[in-house]
Chain A
Amino acid sequence: MDVRIETIGKGCEELVLIRCCEVTEEVREIANFVKSRQGSLSCTMDSKRYEIAVTDVCYIESVDGKTFLYTNEKVFETAYRIYELEEMLKTKHFLRISKAMLVNLMKIQSIQPAFNGRFTAVLRSGEKVIISRNYVKALKAALKGE
């Protein structure tokens, strides 16, 4: 697939256009990536497709090879892998806090101590997630803007 970037004048509507013979999984992935960069993620719940705002996601967890997005009240499944989401959402204040979890730093209420050099992040939704000791250093750096 050829990639062309065209500069337009100020005031013109910006658009990402994908011209393809068939809407394949690859095309959907590209479209989803563009949407995620703009602040929304494609996901499913009960076989229905949804677009949810990245800012509504509290945390993302990978369980048995599947990736789930947790909002305040709902759980969605997404086709993305956790490492893909980590890369895509690092500018949206998401941080990896364990091997299988990303958390939205803006959704954390407070941080509490846990056993063995680990911490517990208490989310605004009331849920608690473990911050692995391996990722505490990265958390400190992220909070200091490093």
Chain B
Amino acid sequence: MEFKRFLINKLVLFFMLSTLITIAVYLIGSAFDSEARFGYDALLTPIKYAALCLLPTLVMWSQHELSPKQILVRKALMLVLLEAVILFIAFTSPVIDTGSDKVILTLVGSVLVIFVLVNLFLWLQGSAEAKKLSRDLAAFQKLHEAP
């Protein structure tokens, strides 16, 4: 893959992650600390988290075509690194109560859910593109088939 295309894909992923992390922060915050109030700097939190979470995805970069098995292994490695990044953020943040197992489990679970959702969206996007390619292919074959 061209590095430029790789970067564009990462940018798309960054915006998807920002949105999903915002939703996750809202749900977790409402459940555990609904009375908390924050300043404007809190708006940057999902963006910072998304940028940090983007770093593990760099393990998917390869100049050569990866086999399906290699992709699965790298995706698993990426999930482990993502969990590590989130736990690092949690344990270095003064506002997250890392003493509570419930909070830690919720964080780890949230990362897993977001990871699955992002991959599901990407799959659906690829599926829509594949359907369009199949339609274009059928039109191409109809145009060029022998009389």
Chain A contacts to B: CB under 8 angstroms? 55, 93, 98-99, 105-106, 108, 110-119, 130, 132-134, 139-140, 142-145
- Bound: A126/B11 CA distance, A: 37
Q: Are B1 and A133 in contact (CB under 8 A)?
A: yes
Q: Say yes or no for B145: interface residue by CB 8 A criterion.
A: yes
Q: Are A111 and B65 in contact (CB under 8 A)?
A: no
Q: Are B137 and A111 in contact (CB under 8 A)?
A: yes
What chain B residues lie within 8 Å of A114 (beta carbons)? 68, 126
SS of B interface (majority):
helix
Q: Say yes or no for B97: interface residue by CB 8 A criterion.
A: no
What chain A residues lie within 8 Å of B66 (beta carbons)? 116
Chain B contacts to A: CB under 8 angstroms? 1-2, 5, 9, 60, 65-66, 68, 71-72, 75, 123, 126-127, 129-130, 133-134, 136-137, 139-141, 143-146
SS of A interface (majority):
mixed
Chain A nearest CB from B39 CB (Å) reads 39
What chain A residues lie within 8 Å of B134 (beta carbons)? 110-111
Q: Are A113 and B60 in contact (CB under 8 A)?
A: no
29 A-B pairs, CB-CB below 8 angstroms? A93-B144, A99-B65, A105-B140, A106-B141, A106-B144, A110-B137, A111-B130, A111-B133, A112-B127, A113-B126, A114-B68, A114-B126, A115-B71, A115-B72, A117-B1, A117-B9, A119-B129, A119-B130, A119-B133, A130-B65, A133-B1, A134-B2, A140-B136, A142-B140, A143-B133, A143-B137, A143-B139, A145-B140, A145-B143
Chain B, Cβ-Cβ closest to A92: B144
- Bound: A139/B144 CA distance, A: 16
Chain A, Cβ-Cβ closest to B138: A110
- Bound: A116/B137 CA distance, A: 21
Other 8 A-B pairs with CB < 8 A, given A105-B141, A111-B134: A98-B65, A106-B141, A110-B137, A111-B133, A111-B137, A113-B126, A113-B129, A117-B126
